[in-house]
Amino acid sequence: MRVRVRFFASYAEAFGRQEMGLDLEAGASVADCVAAIRADPAASRLPPSPLVAVNQRYARPETPLAEGDEVALIPPVAGG
Amino acid sequence: MRVRVRFFASYAEAFGRQEMGLDLEAGASVADCVAAIRADPAASRLPPSPLVAVNQRYARPETPLAEGDEVALIPPVAGG
Amino acid sequence: MPAYLTDRLLDPTALVESVASPGCGATSLFLGTVRRAPEDGDLEGIEYSAYPEMAEAEFERIVAEARERWPEACIALRHRTGYIAVGEASVAIAVASPHRAQAYDCSRYLIEETKKRVPIWKKERFASGAAEWVEPMHV
Amino acid sequence: MPAYLTDRLLDPTALVESVASPGCGATSLFLGTVRRAPEDGDLEGIEYSAYPEMAEAEFERIVAEARERWPEACIALRHRTGYIAVGEASVAIAVASPHRAQAYDCSRYLIEETKKRVPIWKKERFASGAAEWVEPMHV
């Protein structure tokens, strides 16, 4: 299945892009998706357990993904 | 000695005036002053221990007064 | 003067600007407005009166206490007197400080002490022509 | 909509008016402004960026939680994005409620949750041309 991965702020700078498509095995979890993203050398910028949102909502590492999901890597937030 | 007594809000309405002069014995306290004010029939409107300010500051019943002091009877405050 | 009585409309933006400075990252503005609750019937507004000399002296004491507890806070406090219609503000308190906890806590302190201590009184005015002194319970 | 992102200047008076109603006697307005502390050197401003779809979804969730805790509160929340100069407001939260405790507590809840959860990021811009991401400690 294919998911859309989005990068923001310092992560977008580190990865040199704002999004990418990623092919994962059926039944893959958020943790599997993050592991796949780590194949990119730019991923050294990521903390051990980056915050992840799936479809605009914070998700846990074990959350299962579905075809077409939007997976966002969320740098430490600093609003306000 | 003579003090100036001031009335405000509901007390001013009850006493029908905003101030009066009052002669007290030397060494009189706030409590003595309130007792003297109670000679006025309108004083039935006063609670048992009305709030009193002397020279724009809250004062206790035992506070001694001096010639020329401004003694104010303060109805329950309701600012804000 | 950081705190005083006024007979003018209170202006939120002007008050916020009056306490701003580059070192302050948080501003809290509190507005107390004349309210008509369902049980208030045809209340139209409130007439505020004060013992002005003492009210301003008490404001000064309250602001001095607040500054001792929150030395970095910039404070502006205004209390209207005279007739104030339902929906209009009777009191406005602006506090700016480097961080937000100070601004919230200092603002809360100022309004609580104002309500407890400052010699100001309210007379409710109703459309019927009736008028009633507000007698708080915390006597 | 009670809460959204905007690239416009935040207007305190307009925000306060947007939550007013005759039954509300208390309004709390919180403004978070871009601050230059002594240790910030020649900081000129901050560039705010967001994950807009999620930021607005998260704002909606936060406002829904606040309404559950303070059902009588009227809420308006605005967060600016883009470049914001020192002294200008980045976030504004207005809460009106019948009584003041609700207004203060609800406002505080909204700003604390916003800072913890809403996907917004800051890049500091210095007069020297330098730029730095703000990395909060609560990762």
- The predicted-structure confidence for C95-106, as pLDDT tens digits, reads as follows 999 999 999 999
pLDDT (0 to 100) of residue A70? 98
* Chain D contact set for A58 (CB, 8 A): 117
For residues D21-31, average pLDDT: 97
For residues D6-32, average pLDDT: 97
Residue of B nearest to C57 (CA): B56
Residue of C nearest to B56 (CA): C54
Residues 6+ apart with CB under 8 A from A50: A11, A34, A73, A74, A75
pLDDT (0 to 100) of residue A45? 86
Structure tokens at C105: 């806590």
**C69 reaches D (C-beta below 8 A):** no
- What are the pLDDT digits (tens) for D93-137? 999 999 999 999 999 999 999 999 999 999 999 999 999 999 875
What distance lies between CA C16 and its chain's CA centroid? 14
**B78 reaches C (C-beta below 8 A):** yes
Contact C122 B77 (CB under 8 A): no
* Chain D contact set for C12 (CB, 8 A): 12-13, 16, 29
Give this complex's ipTM.
0.94
d(CA C30, CA C125): 24
* Chain C contact set for B53 (CB, 8 A): 51, 54, 119
Mean pLDDT of chain D: 96
- What are the pLDDT digits (tens) for D82-101? 999 999 999 999 999 999 99
d(CA C20, CA C37): 34
> Which helix (H) or strand (E) is C100 found in, with range?
helix C100-117
- Do residues D36 and D86 lie in contact, with contact meaning Cβ atoms separated by under 8 Å? yes
For chain D, list residues whose CB is within 8 angstroms of any CB belonging to chain A.
32, 48-51, 53-55, 57-58, 79, 90-91, 111, 114-123, 133-136, 138-139
- The phi, psi pair for D14, rounded to 5°, reads -60, -40
Mean pLDDT of chain C: 96
CA distances from C34 to C47, C55, D45, D98 (A): 10, 20, 39, 10
Task: Measure in Å the smallest separation between the Cα of D10 and chain C Cα atoms.
Answer: 10
The model's pTM = 0.95
Whether C138 shows a pLDDT value over 60: the answer reads no
* Chain D contact set for C22 (CB, 8 A): 35-36, 86-87
- The phi, psi pair for C61, rounded to 5°, reads -65, -40
Structure tokens at C46: 């409130």
pLDDT above 90 covers a percentage of chain D that reads 95
Residue segments in chain A with a per-residue pLDDT below the cut of 70? none
Q: Is the dihedral of CA A25, A26, A32, A36 positive or negative?
A: positive
pLDDT (0 to 100) of residue A64? 98
pLDDT (0 to 100) of residue D136? 75
pLDDT (0 to 100) of residue C79? 98
Whether C111 shows a pLDDT value over 70: the answer reads yes
Whether D139 shows a pLDDT value over 60: the answer reads no
pLDDT (0 to 100) of residue D138? 45
- Do residues C10 and C34 lie in contact, with contact meaning Cβ atoms separated by under 8 Å? no
- Do residues D132 and D45 lie in contact, with contact meaning Cβ atoms separated by under 8 Å? no
pLDDT (0 to 100) of residue B34? 97
pLDDT tens over chain B, length 80 residues: 999 999 999 999 999 999 999 999 999 999 999 999 999 988 998 999 999 999 999 999 999 999 999 999 999 999 99
**B76 reaches C (C-beta below 8 A):** yes
| pLDDT band per the 50, 70, 90 thresholds, residue C135 | confident
Count CA atoms within 13 Å of residue A42 on its CB side.
Answer: 11
- Do residues D128 and D42 lie in contact, with contact meaning Cβ atoms separated by under 8 Å? yes
Buried b (16+ CB within 10 A) or exposed e, B33-62: bbebbeebeebeebeeebbbbbebeebeee
Whether D3 shows a pLDDT value over 80: the answer reads yes
- Of D53, D120, D133, Cβ closest to residue A10: D133
pLDDT (0 to 100) of residue D10? 97
| pLDDT band per the 50, 70, 90 thresholds, residue C136 | confident
Residue C126: how many other CB atoms lie within 10 Å: 14
